[in-house]
Structure 1
Amino acid sequence: MEIARAWLGRPVACACGRTHEVPIAHVHVGPGAAATLSGWLAERGVQRILLVADANTYDVHGREVLAALEARGFAAGVHVFPQRHGLLPDEQAVAAVEAALADAAPDVAIAVGSGVINDTVRYASFRRGVPYVVAATAPSMDGYASSVAAMQFAGVKTTLPAHAPQAIFADPAVLAAAPWPLVQAGYGDLIGKAISLLDWKLSRTLFGEYFCPEAYRMVLAPMRYCAEHAAEIRARSETAVAALFAGLINSGIAMAMMGNSRPCSGSEHHCSHFWDLLAYRGERDHMAHGLQVGYATRWMMRFYRWTARWLQARTANGGRVTQVTLPPWTEAEDQAARSFYGAGAEEIIAAQREKRRWLADHPLPAEGVAADEILAALEPELSLFAAVEASLDAMDIPQDPRGLDLDARQLRLTFLRAYELRSRFTVFDFLVSQGLLAAAVDGVLAEA
Structure 2
Amino acid sequence: MLTAQAWIGRSVACACGQTHHVPIEKVCIGSDMLERLKAYAAAQHAEVWLIVSDANTHPLLGGATASALAAAGHKVDTHVFPETHDLLPDRPQIEAVRRRIRETGAQVAVAVGSGVINDITRYASFKESIPYVVVATAPSMDGYASSVAALQFDGLKTTLPAHTARAIFADPSVLARAPWELIQAGFGDLVGKTISLLDWKLAHTLYQEPLCAAAYELVQKPLKACIDAAEGLRSRDAEAVRELFLGLVNAGVAMAMVGNSRPCSGSEHHLSHFWDLLAYKGRRAHASHGHQVGYATTWMMKFYRLLPQIDELVQPRPRTLDMSWREWVREFYGDGAETVEAAQARKAERLAARQDHWRGWSRKSILAALQPEFSWFAQVERALGVMGLADAGARLEIDRPILQETFEHAWELRDRYTIFDFLAGQDRMAWAVEAVLG
C-alpha distance in structure 1 between counterparts of 2:148 and 2:8, whole Å: 17
Cα pair 1:52 1:111 within 8 Å, conserved = yes
Please name the residue that 1:391 is paired with.
383
CA distance in 2, matches of 1:433, 1:17: 30
Residue 417 of structure 2: aligned partner = 425
Change (3 A) 1:72 1:365: closer
Whole-Å Cα distance in 1 between the matches of residues 231 and 398 of structure 2? 27
Q: Does 1:331 align with 2:339?
A: no
Is it true that 1:353 corresponds to 2:345 in the alignment? yes
Give the C-alpha shift of residue 96 in structure 1.
3.7
Secondary structure class of the residue paired with 1:403? coil
Q: Distance in 1 between the 2:2 and 2:58 partners?
A: 27
Cα offset, 1:157, TM superposition: 4.5
Q: Report the equivalent of 1:343.
A: 335
CA distance in 2, matches of 1:346, 1:230: 41
Unaligned runs of 5+ in 1: none
- SS, match of residue 76 in structure 1: strand
Shift of 1:63: 3.1
Structure 1 residues 334-363: Cα deviation after superposition (integer angstroms, max 9, x where no partner): 223223333322222222221111111112
Distance 1:425 1:62, change over 3 A: same
Normalised by the length of structure 1, the TM-score is: 0.92
Residues 14-67 of structure 1 deviation map (CA, whole Å, 9 limit, x = unaligned): 011111112222211222111111111213333332222223212222233234
Q: 1:90-130 CA distances to partner (integer Å, 9 max, x unpaired)?
A: 44433443343234323322111112222222222223322
Looking at structure 1, the residues matched to 169 and 308 of structure 2 have their Cα atoms a distance apart, in angstroms, of: 41
Task: Call closer, same or farther: CA 1:345–1:70 in 2, change over 3 Å.
Answer: closer
| Structure 2 partner of 1:410 | 402
**In the aligned structure 2, how far is the partner of 1:425 from the partner of 1:301?**
16
Higher mean alpha-carbon deviation, 328-337 vs 378-387, is at: 328-337
TM-aligned CA distance change 1:420 to 1:54, over 3 Å: closer
Matched, 1:369 2:342: no
How far, CA to CA, are the matches of 1:87 and 1:444 in structure 2?
34
Report the number of matched residues.
Answer: 438
CA contact (8 A) 1:326 1:429 kept: no
Could you tell me whether the CA contact under 8 Å between 1:351 and 1:422 is conserved in 2?
yes
- Per the alignment, residue 49 of structure 1 pairs with 49
Match of 1:148 in 2: 148
Q: 1:80-119 maps to which residues of 2 (within 5 A)?
A: 80-119=80-119
Q: 1:398–1:404: 8 Å Cα contact kept in structure 2?
A: no
CA contact (8 A) 1:122 1:162 kept: yes
Q: Distance in 1 between matches of 2:16 and 2:254?
A: 13
The question of whether the paired residues in 2 share the 8 Å contact of 1:94 and 1:123 is answered with: yes
Residue type of the partner of 1:275? Answer: W
- Distance in 1 (CA, whole Å) between partners of 2:226 and 2:358 is 41
User: Structure 1 residues 97 and 414 mapped into 2: Cα distance closer, same or farther (>3 Å)?
Assistant: closer
User: In 2, distance between residues paired with 1:323 and 1:279?
Assistant: 37
**Is the 8 Å Cα contact of residues 307 and 363 (structure 2) preserved in structure 1?**
no
CA contact (8 A) 2:156 2:273 kept: no
Say whether 1:137 aligns with 2:137.
Answer: yes
CA RMSD of aligned residues (A): 2.1
User: In 1, Cα distance between the equivalents of 2:69 and 2:279?
Assistant: 42
CA distance in 2, matches of 1:41, 1:2: 28
Is contact 2:70–2:76 with CA below 8 Å preserved after alignment? yes
The answer on 1:443 being equivalent to 2:435 is yes
Task: Read off the aligned partner of 2:435 and give its amino acid letter.
Answer: G
Q: Which residue of 2 aligns with 1:296?
A: 296
| Structure 1 SS opposite 2:145 | coil
Secondary structure, in 3 states, of the residue corresponding to 1:12? strand
Q: 1:220: Cα distance to partner?
A: 0.6
Letter in structure 1 aligned against 2:78: V
Contact 1:133 1:166 in 2 (8 A): yes
1:142-221 equivalent positions in 2, closer than 5 A: 142-153=142-153, 157-221=157-221
Letter in 2 for 1:73: G
Distance in 1 between residues matched to 2:400 and 2:264, nearest whole Å: 27
Q: Decide whether aligned partners of structure 1 residues 359 and 97 sit closer, same or farther in structure 2, where only a CA change above 3 A counts.
A: closer
> Identity over aligned residues, as a percent?
52
CA distance in 2, matches of 1:214, 1:55: 39
**Per-residue deviation at 1:213?**
0.5
Moved more, 211-220 or 240-249: 240-249
Q: Are residues 13 and 417 of structure 1, via their aligned partners in 2, closer, same or farther at CA, if it must alter by over 3 Å?
A: same
TM-score (norm 2): 0.94
1:421 counterpart letter in structure 2: L
1:15–1:289 distance in 2 versus 1, CA, 3 Å: same
Partners of 1:324 and 1:79 lie apart in 2 by 51
Contact 2:315–2:359 (CA under 8 A) maintained in structure 1: no
Q: Distance in 2 between matches of 1:146 and 1:117?
A: 14
Contact 1:189/1:291, CA 8 A, preserved across alignment: yes
- Whole-angstrom distance in 1 between the partners of 2:21 and 2:295: 33
Matching residue of 2:279: 279
The code of the aligned residue for 1:244 comes to L
Letter in 2 for 1:349: E
